[in-house]
Structures are given as C-alpha cells and as structure tokens.
Structure 1
Amino acid sequence: MTEIAKTIGDHVELTQQMKQMLEDSLGEKLRAAALAAKLKLNPDIDQVTNEQLAALSRELDIDHITLWKRIGNDIVALKSSNAKEINMSSKTWDYWYTAFNQLFDSGAVTVPQGQKLPHYWSGPINYASSDPSVINKWGYYYDGTTNYLINPYVNAKSLLQFESGSGTEALVQRMLADNKNLLEITGFDPQFFGKAPIIKIKNGIPVNNLDVRAVIFGPYSYQDDSDDAQIQQAANTGRMITETATIKNTTVMKSFIPIQGAQPYVIGITFDHTSIQSTLNRQLLKHIGISLGLLLVTMVASYFIAGFMLRSLHLVMDQVNALAQGHFRTRLSIRTKDELGLLAAQVNAMADNLDAYWMQLHNAAEELQHTQQYLESFINHTSDAIHVVLLNGEMMRTNNAFEAMYGWNKEEVEGKRLELIFPGHEQEFEHIRSTILQGYPIADYETVRMTRDGRSLDISMTSSPIRDSQGEIIAIASISRNITVRKKTEEVLRKSEKLSVVGQLAAGVAHEIRNPLTTIKGFLQLQKSKGPLSSMYLDVMLSELDRINFIVSEFLVLAKPQASCYELVDLQTILRDIVLLLDSQAHMNNVELQLDLATECSPIHCEPNQLKQVFVNVLKNGLEAMPDGGSLRIQLEHTSQDGLTVRFIDQGCGIAEKDLVRLGEPFFTNKESGNGLGLMVSQKIIANHKGTLNIQSKLGQGTCVEIWLPVAAVQEASVHKG
C-alpha cells in the first residue's frame, strides 16, 4: 500500500506541475502585455485616460489594464479599463501589498508566493476584489521609468477548464472511480490546515481566497483529529506518514505524502482498510481452495504414493486448520522443493501475512485504548478546573478540580445550567462568548467567577470552541485556574511599593510647595507695607496657589488607595503632570528634565494612577543614578499604528551586564535603602495593560527604559488573542 500511495502521489504531483506550468505561461504573457503597454502609454499617470487603457486592452487581447500608484503608505488603483477597479486600495492585501512595495522599492520581489521575473511579479489565481464572482490571473510590472505600476490581467477560465477537464481535480475523480478501495485523495496546505479559515470581504462578499485554503484539491470527508499533527510531521520531516484509524464506522489507512517546491503541500490518500482486508480474505480462501484441491488430488493419488506423501498432506491440513482457528504463528517445516514443499511455503507465507495484519490491528486497538485512558487520567487529575458547556448553557462535562474549585459535584451539574457569572460581569461574559462563537479561542484571560456558595473567585481562563465533524461549533470547553492568592499578593506588593515611592517624594513635594509659598508671602508683606497691590500681582499669587493645589492633588493621588478604573487617557497629559511633580527634586539633584512629545498621539485605555506610579518609579531611579547631575530625556512617539513608546534616557552610572538579567526579581536592588520591589510591580502594571517594559544599559554610559503601550483600539481587540 505504501508503494501504491507513492505512485498516486507522483501522478498528482505531475498534474499539479502541469497546472503550474500553464499558470506560469499565462504570467509570461501578461508580462509581455505589460511591456507593450509601457511603450504605448505616457509615463505620467495623470496623462493616461481610462479610455486609452480600454482600447489598449482590446489591442493586446487581454481583459483589462489597471495602473497603480503609491500614495503615502498605500498603493491605490488610480486608472483602469475596469471602472470597478478605480480607487481600490491594496493596503489590506497581505503579501500582495508587500510584493507591490518591493516592486516600487527595488524591482525584485522576494515573497514566496507567485511568479517572479525581472521587474515583474504575478500572484496566484484568485477571486477578484472588484467582483468576487470572477477568478483572474494578474501581472504587475514596474521598472522605474513610469510613476505607476502596470497591472494587466485576464480571466483564469483556461486554467479552470484544465483543472476540471485534465487537472488535479479530474485526475482525483478518475482515480476514485477506478479504485473502490481508494476512498479519497486530498491536497493539504500545512501552512493553513488546522487553523481558522481566513475570510476576506471583497466588494461586500465574504471570500475564502484560493491561496489561503487548508484543502487545495480533492474531497476531505474522512476527517480525524490527528490529521493536523500527521500533516505537519510529513511537511516538516519530508517523509511519508502512514496511520490507521476508524472514521465513520470504517477502518481506513491514511498516507500523507509531502511535496516540496516553491509552495510545499501534502497529499493525503485514504484507503478502505476493510476492503483491503476483504481482498486478503478472498486470497486466503483462494489459497485454502487450492489446498483443498491439492488434497483431493493427493487423496486420489494416495493409492499410488507412499505413506510419506500422505503424512506431508496431513501436516499441511493441520496447518490450514490451525490458521482457520486463529493460530497464525505455527509454521510448516519445509524439507523438499517439490510441489508439497511449494505448497507448504505458500501456507507459511499466508500465515506470516495474517499474523502481521492481526498484530497491526491489535496494536492499533491497544494504542487507542491507552490514549483514551491517558486523556481521562489527565482530565481527572489536573489541578485546573475543566468544564464543557453546550451552546444552550447545559453543562456537558466536568472534572474533579471543577468540583473542588466551584463546589458542585458531577452528578449535580451535568445536564443542568449553572450560574457561574459573578454579578457585574455579565457583559464581559457575553463578549467572551461571542468571540468564541466566531471561532476565536480565549487564552489566559483573567476574570471573576462565582462559586456555589456565592463567593467571588479570581481565575485565569482559557476557552476554545468544540466543533462537530461538519466544522460547526457545538460546545465551549473552558480551563480555569484559581489565581485569587496571586492577585492578592500582587495588590499587596503594588501598594507597598506605592507607599515607598510616596515617602521618597515627600521631600521633593515639600520643596516644590515652599517656593510658591515664599512668593505669596513676599507679595503679602509688600501689600502690608505699601497698601493694595495691582491685579497683576494678584494674578501671580493665584497662579502660585494653583500650582500648590496641583502638586498636593497629584501627591494625594499617589498616596491614597485607588480603585482600578480603566479610562481613555492622553499619555502626554500624564507625562507632563509627572514632570511637573518631580521637577523640583530634579533641580535639587542638578538634573534637567527634557520632555520630547509627539505632536499627535492616540489615546490609550488605562488606569492613570497605576501608570503614574510606574513613571514616577522610573524617573526617580534615573534621578538617583545621576548623583553628579546631567540631563534626563523623556520621549513619547508612535512607533507603529497600534502602539505608543515612552523612553526614559538618563546619563547616569549605568547597570552592569550581570545585573541586567536580574532586574525585576523580588528584593534584588543595588540601592542601600531599596527593597527591589519597584521594578517588579512596574513590570506587572505594564503587563496588565498589555504592554512591555524593556531596559537597555551600559556601565558608565547611562540607561534607557523603554515602555510600549497599545492604543485603545488594540487593547479592545486583544481579548480575541487572550
């Protein structure tokens, strides 16, 4: 069967190569059309009309020509013989957009997909964005002599006709029709198999593009949970993988054959193992019939043959009877090379084959039983609570840890609906449920649930959809881990570090308040000696009082306990407030605070007081690292469309390389009065905001603390990724 599978795989691979040759030939034709169009069109896109493109398309015997131009960080179709193409954006076209940019930048395309020629790239056939009912073949040419990219394209009906008449799909159908033992032949793309389908919206219609499909060709009805692992193993090792399984009450043998190339794929071939076994049984019956015939001939000839021949026939009969009773490991002793010796050899070969197939079936059954026992043991002995809920809310399955964590036993909950959602978290639960029903898993999501006796329980939850054989979601599986103790410990550490920071800020705040008080005192003494002051002096006094009020307010925000309340906040405002709060302490340390803020920054969804605690901690560390003074630079910029980066760059003593790896460990510090908790608490706060905190430093050259935070839209979407 292995050789048959390899032969079928070779035929399918050859047909795929023929299809690719046809597609490459069509791509070369489109490149020639693009070169001809370049010679006939004005190099300035503003001097080209859509009517010219329509006439040129007819002249070159192609469907349409579209001209693309780079505008900002997008590449847009500005002119086209097809009105539906005009003003289309390519920014969301994944590797197509990457190929366009590479053509504009260097003329050499390096994406693995598609056909690559000098100054030219042709992507695989696909649904048209302007009309998803049409499948086209596109070519793209740019050599720098024009200010636009030339895009001729044609309908891919010739390739589709080849596929349906002589291509892979037709070959698969013929093979399935000619061989009843062959159940299906399927082409898999290991890059996308086992993952959620990628759906693109084209002209308002959801489309699963041809180049991102998990199944490339052939039917795929005999599905097994282990297929994904087998396909990935075959693709990674380059070796054929074969397994036996029971699917749809049929014992099947699956072979997965890796095909290497520019776009590697795996061919899956499924045989009817039961039918193969029937063939073997028929062969066995044939051999038994032959044996019986020989026995009859021997009985007739026994009148003329010596007792030695009769004894040999009795031995053969005993072996056949033993095989019929299931004793496959008994063998005949072959002493001669005549007809009886050949018969004995055939019976022994038959016994060998039957024994081998029986052992394969026995081992497969034991393996399935061991796997089931292992999974049951894992589910029932893990410390994490596992429960499976049907879409109507009924509990389908729980484990022992669920009973210990939530208080319900299996008999009480299975088949019933439970109230696990803590009051106030209903909207969050519905949002998580809708995300899972869309096919997205939730990983390590921290939330609150309710036990049987009404207590709140802090948990880290991982949930994923369960699908049936048709791919429909039928239930939701959740794994819960109790993190109540961890959350309380984190809160205690955060409050402890916060009080430490507040105590250290007290001296700076006192100095900052003393300066405006001195100014106000001077003006009051002036009024006492010279009478009423002008409004200008009063305005200065009010300004100084406002400054005192702001500093005291900021100090109280850091000092008093705050409930976690996330809101949309401008990060520039927080940084300005922190600089104003620590400016006096910086001057006392002979340090200049330099604030470098981006002109426009998107708001972030955060807990402002916690971020202030982080920034104060980082700034104070920078001030303390510069005992001889210097400058401490604070930068805020958009480093990407989905995040902001804050950098604190000091000119201090720096950190030794051996100490860098230990930063963030509890109670690790180089300060005489430090406790080592500040950076650990800061890292946890940033992590809770879905951000990152990195430190770069060289001894004697200073330190750069870089904090990245996602903007509000990305934080909302992050629940999809857990």
Structure 2
Amino acid sequence: MQLILGLVKSGFLEKLVSRLDRVEPEEIHQIVTRLIQEKGFLENVFEALQEGLIIIDPEGKIMFLNRAACQFFGITPENSLGEKISSKIRGIDTISLKRSKQAISRDIEIFYPEHRMLNFYLSPIDDPKNQELPLGQVMLIRDNTSSHAETQQNIESERLNALTLLAAGVAHEIGNPLNSLDIHLQLLNRKINKLAPGERKDLTEHLKTARNEISRLDTILKQFLNAVRPTTPSRSPHDLNAVLHQTLKLLEPEIASRNISVNLELSETLPKALIDPDQFQQVFYNLLRNAYQSISSDEGLIEIHTHSTETDFLISISDNGTGIPHENMGSLFEPYRTTKSTGSGLGLLIVRRIIREHGGEIEIQSQPEAGTEILIHLPHTAPRPRMLPAPVIDL
C-alpha cells in the first residue's frame, strides 16, 4: 500500500517536504489525517473489485493484493506480503517480470483452491525519474472460467452435431454390409455342417473367428450410435435406490471376483425421481464398471451415496482406485479418448448425454493414486420456464 500512496501522492509529498519548515502543527495533523483517510478509501476501492489486483515491486515481491486475488490463488496477505510472487503463484516467472517493460496479457489455468481459467494483465509502473527501471508492476486478474466453459460447450455441441451427421452415414454404409456378411456366413455355416468331420474342423474355426469379428464391429457401431444419436427419455416416477440395487446385482459376480467391497449409504427418505429407468441403469452400469476396473489393490472399495435436497437428487459414486492423471481430466468426455487398453472411450460420453437429457449434470473429481468421485446432480422435476417480474421504471 505504501507503493500505491507513493505513486498517487508523489507530487503532493514533494511540495509538502519543500515547505515543511513553514507548516503549522495543526496543518500537519490535518495533512496526515487526510493521507490516512485516502489510504483507507483506496484500500476499500481495491477490495471491492471483483478482479484480482496485485502490486509488485521491482524485485518481484508482493506489496499489495486484494481479497479477490487471495481467493483466486488461495493465499493470504499475512503469508504473501513481502514474498516473491513466483513463490506464491506457480507459473509466474519473477525474472521475466523484472525484464519486462511492456504490458503482458496471459491466460493461466489453476487447480487450487478451485479449478479456474484466469487471465492476468501485467503492466509496468513507470518511474518519471528513471525510464530504465519501472517502480513496479500492476497485475489485474480476471476470472474467465464461465466464458471458457461456455466456449467449450459450444465446441462440444458442434462436435456432437458433426458426429450425429456422421452417425447417419455410418449406420447405412457399415450397418448394411455387416448384416449382409452375417447372413452369408450363416449360409456358409450350413454348408460346412454338411461336410465330413475331418474337413469341417478348420473351416469351423475360421468361420467362428469371422463371426466374432462381425459381432465386435456391430457392438462398436451400436455404441457409437447410442453415444451421439439424440434420444428422448421415457420418464416415469422411479426409485433411484432400486435402480442402483438392480445394477449392482448385474455386476455382483465381477465385483466379487475382484474382492472389492461396496459400501452403500442410500437415503431411506429419497422421493421418486422422474427418470427413464433403462437409461439410468446404463449410467450406473458404466460408472460402476469404470470404478471397479480402476481398482488394482486387494483392499478395493466402492462407496455409493444418495441424498436429496429441496431441489436436487445427489448421487455419489467413489472408488479408491488409481485415479485419473491431471492431464487427462480435460478430455474425459471426448469420444474415443480412453486410458483403458480395451475401452471404446464412449462410456462417459453416453453417461453425460443421458444425465443432461434429464436436466442434470455430472461432476468428476480425481487424484492420481487416490481414487475418483463421480457426483451426479439431478433435478427433482424437469426444469420449467419462470416468469420474471416486470421491471419497475421510475418516470
């Protein structure tokens, strides 16, 4: 703050010092009071800003930071003032700040205390007496997380529209030949069955391989179409806990074979949800399968929680598996992007599409080697338009 006052009042203080010997004590008291009041006024202005503000001295040390900057980077004035900014904000190079004589605008992604997309504008504070060395730097930080998310949603929407158009062509160009191949292989199988046992063995093996590959291609095609083709949920009131139990029953043999424990904390007062039960069984199936496939230890644990607020259902599925690397978190919902050796990369894309068609949203939190938590937010009813009150106009 001393740096700010020095910049704002440098001309005033020079005049004051030049005539200090002629100033009466009462006038000095008034001047000091005025400076204190103006210092408090400036601090209040800076604290009211939604943008983060940091003042840096020529050595790259933090001289002032407002409340918004503290919230963005998870720091406090007590442990930051007088410290080099590079030690408090990763990715900021103090040496580059010293050498920079021009304004800098950069985007930065941070993961703590919250995942945010920030833009900071850094401008040098010129010293009228020394043009070579600035008095310091002013850093203004804006939170672009929401606009970045909106841009990503637009990109994703355009991508899905392109995939939907592609799906129509794929269904015709690949689906029909696959059906034709399967029919001809059935005819071939009938003729092979009429051969002598010695001649039949090798041909039967080759035929089995061909039919398995056709079946695999057909499965991939159906997964692709289910992932991108718009569908309208057939909604009716259903118990989410019951759908979870049904899904767990389907997966019980494989979960038990891996010695994985399942801990259920399901709300007994959960109201019925307006959902498509088949689609939500697919959601739970994909998420639970991902959970137990990520667990490699003998003490595997999957925890499932359900809860209800006044407006939403909250469903949490967490595991103590290998977790997801930070560099993969941004591409989880991209088609055909998977960390599994045998995965199609369409599971999470299908899950999010179904949840969003029900008016909900999915949130994923993960740490490498510490596990993953999936949180589903689902509204009690389909969202309805709300009439806003007419604005009051003073004439």
Tell me if both proteins adopt one fold, taking TM over 0.5 as the criterion: no
TM-score, structure 1 normalization: 0.22
Structure with greater Cα Rg: 1
Which of 1 and 2 has higher RCO (CA within 8 Å, sep 6+)?
2
